[in-house]
Structure 1
């Protein structure tokens, strides 16, 4: 079954899916396909911000088809090795929580009135 993942690093978000039996190393190879960063230069973190071990499977971290969906993917943190040969700190840039602009609010209300 598919496990749906949202891999986050700073302002970057990658949506992907894998099997619950996929190893962390295999997931790093998937990420390498997107970012061209070799697996040994990647560090993945589970929801508790603990480092995920290469030879363990996603299901070992509670990432299964029953805990994730396409509409509600699990977040996996990504840190990469920097030039000083150390891994950067795990960092997520929060998504915007800004309210809709007044112009958009009126359009949204108009759309709801028309559909009634």
Structure 2
């Protein structure tokens, strides 16, 4: 079954889907193909539990990500962190840093129902 993920870092948002049996490394390779950051410099963190997915050979199912919890209309949120370039500590990761999403633009009148238009008129009055 498919697992749907929203992966966020700073202003980057990726939507990825793969099988429950895919490994963490498989997901990192997908991200590497887009961001060009090597997989050994990536760390994925599950939003709901703040659990780091450090074992590249674990499956998504082993990490608790299933098709029942990560649906297309409600993907699981993962944070992407990069390794700091401080030659000292191998396990020195940047903190979770995600920019806020902007609010959507107002709905054009063409798409509004009669109830929506009435609400707008009452707000303007």
Normalised to the residue count of structure 1, the TM-score between the two structures is 0.81
Q: Give the aligned CA root-mean-square deviation in angstroms.
A: 2.7
Q: Give the unaligned 5+ runs of structure 1.
A: none
Q: How far apart are 1:94 and its partner, in Å?
A: 2.4
The residue number in structure 1 matching 2:86 is 84
1:3-82 to structure 2, matched below 5 A, reads: 3-47=3-47, 48-52=49-53, 53-82=55-84
Indicate the SS of the match to 1:33: helix
Q: For this pair of structures, how many residues does the alignment match? A: 111
Pair member with larger Rg: 2
Give the helix-richer structure, 1 or 2: 1
CA-CA distance at 1:87 after TM superposition = 1.8
Q: State the secondary structure of the residue aligned to 2:62.
A: helix
Distance 1:115 1:35, change over 3 A: same
Displacement of 1:2 after TM fit?
0.7
Note the C-alpha offset of 1:49: 1.5
Q: What SS does the corresponding residue of 1:51 show, helix, strand or coil?
A: coil
Summarize deviations over 1:77-103 as a string: whole Å, max 9, x none.
1001232243211122222358x6xxx
